[in-house]
Amino acid sequence: MRVHFIVHEDFEAPGAYETWAINHGHDVSYSRVYAGDKLPGDAEGIDFLIVMGGPQDPSTTLAECPHFDAKGEQALIASAVQTGKAVIGICLGSQLIGEALGAPFAYSPEKEIGKFPITLTEEGSKDEMFSHFASTLEVGHWHNDMPGLTAEAKIIAYSQGCPRQIVAYSDRVYGFQCHMELTREVVEMLIAHSENDLSRAAEYRFVNTPEELRAHDYSEMNEVLFGFLDKLEARYKSA
């Protein structure tokens, strides 16, 4: 199975998503757009398309960020959805999925950076894909925005700071506003690129200090993420 990552910045690394793909022996490929890699022309040959986060938002133009082609990524996402691929978007990636499906992104009520709980909705608690999630689970966050909702979308989980933490757009297409892929190594890279936000942690309800970020254990949420990815792979292969 081929897993293709779109990576927008070197410090927004795939983390636990990449670990899962490599450990399962999948063929892993990348569009590291910050390094000049081109996007695939279409989703042919891709089984899982995983679109990572970044400091941009879907309205960011090429003039503002020459390596980020929001429209091109949305076209690729739409191609993957239309051809039945499994598609996962994380943070910015989740917002791009919504935009590709006609649902504009929105600003989150709260900035969230750190590790805070998400809670399953009634829809989420009934969904077999999330049956191994606790009703409330502490996960990583690093965002200001949130994905848009199509008419068919189901909100799977929310947090105190953001009402759209996990969104199911279909049985193979999911947006994760939260960052369940964070590892200590990825967190260190994010800390290094978030000095301004973290220096103002005391001004926000849901922003950790660098010391708090370094003290967290991220392994439990990684294992829960692996369980979700296993289920999505099984669903994709059975279709």
Summarised one tens digit per residue, pLDDT across range 25-34 is 999 999 999 9
Q: By the 8 A CB rule, do 173 and 166 touch?
A: no
CA–CA dist 45, 197 (Å, integer): 39
Higher pLDDT, 131 or 196: 131
CA–CA dist 5, 25 (Å, integer): 15
Average model confidence (pLDDT) for the chain? Answer: 97
CA–CA dist 109, 46 (Å, integer): 35
CA–CA dist 194, 196 (Å, integer): 6
Taking the chain, what is the end-to-end CA distance rounded to the nearest angstrom?
Answer: 14
- 49 CB-near residues (< 8 Å, 6+ apart): 4, 6, 43, 76, 77, 80, 85, 86, 87, 88
CA–CA dist 60, 46 (Å, integer): 26
Domains in the chain, please, with CATH? 2-238 (3.40.50.880)
Q: Which amino acid is at 43?
A: A
Q: Is residue 197 pLDDT above 90, yes or no? A: no
Band of the pLDDT at 37, cuts 50, 70, 90? very high
Residue 36 backbone zone (phi > 0: left; psi -120 to 50: alpha; other: beta): left
Per DSSP, 165 falls in state: S
pLDDT digits (tens, 9 = 90+) for 107-160: 999 999 999 999 999 999 999 999 999 999 999 999 999 999 999 999 999 999
SS3 state at 204: coil
Residue 29 bridge partners (DSSP): 4
Band of the pLDDT at 239, cuts 50, 70, 90? confident
Q: By the 8 A CB rule, do 3 and 21 touch?
A: yes
Interval 14-40 mean pLDDT:
98
The whole-angstrom distance between residue 121's C-alpha and the CA centroid of its chain comes to: 19
